[in-house]
């Protein structure tokens, strides 16, 4: 796995198979980032991040932890109830409907933008053709703008 980042605990540098990202932890446990942070603080020896990776512009930093230091978290992870599943599924469906709507809006805007650009290009051609006429007339009649 080729990743680069700021190594906070250099002894684990490039030992990616022993690490897990905070995003993966949240996904596997169903915890929020706040609950994960609270869990870490409650431990006798608080698990510290090993590496900080910034994936790209506009994307928050991703911290990596040693998997073995989080073992008790995975054994404590609560079971997902049917009600939680149903709520998550409902929320996911509602958000997907919004995503689909935004996608349709993007497509419409892209078509409109293409039409606007085409019209602008036509107008630029006309202006370019008229420029020499206007410039010659202004020169011939000593008109300055």
Shared domain check, 13 and 71: yes
- Strand 6-7's sheet: what is its strand order? 6-7, 51-53, 62-66, 19-21
Supply the Cα-derived Rg of the chain in whole angstroms.
29
Mean pLDDT of the 127-134 span? 95
Residue 1 falls inside a structural domain: no
Q: pLDDT by residue (tens digit) across 45-84?
A: 889 999 988 776 666 788 999 999 998 887 775 677 788 8
Structural domain count, the chain = 2
Name the β-bridge partners of 7.
51
> What's the rounded Cα separation, in Å, for the pair 5 and 64?
10
Residue 139 falls inside a structural domain: yes
43, 59, 78 — which closes off a domain? 78
Shared domain check, 105 and 63: no
The helix (run of H) or strand (run of E) holding residue 75 is helix 71-76
Shared domain check, 90 and 73: no
Q: In terms of residue numbers, what domain contains 143? A: 80-145
Terminal Cα distance for the chain, rounded: 63
């Amino acid at each position: 796995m080729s990743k680069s980042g700021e190594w906070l605990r250099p002894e684990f540098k490039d030992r990616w198979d022993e690490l897990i990202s905070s995003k993966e932890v949240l996904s596997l446990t169903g915890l929020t980032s706040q609950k994960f942070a609270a869990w870490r603080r409650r431990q006798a020896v608080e698990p510290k991040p090993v590496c900080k990776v910034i994936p790209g512009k506009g994307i928050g930093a991703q911290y990596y932890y040693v998997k073995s230091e989080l073992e008790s978290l995975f054994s404590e992870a609560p079971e997902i109830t049917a009600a939680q599943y149903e709520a998550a599924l409902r929320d996911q469906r509602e958000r997907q409907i919004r995503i689909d709507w935004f996608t349709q809006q993007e497509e419409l805007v892209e078509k409109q933008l293409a039409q606007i650009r085409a019209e602008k290009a036509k107008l630029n051609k006309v202006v370019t053709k008229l420029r020499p006429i206007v410039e010659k007339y202004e020169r011939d009649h000593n008109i300055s703008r």
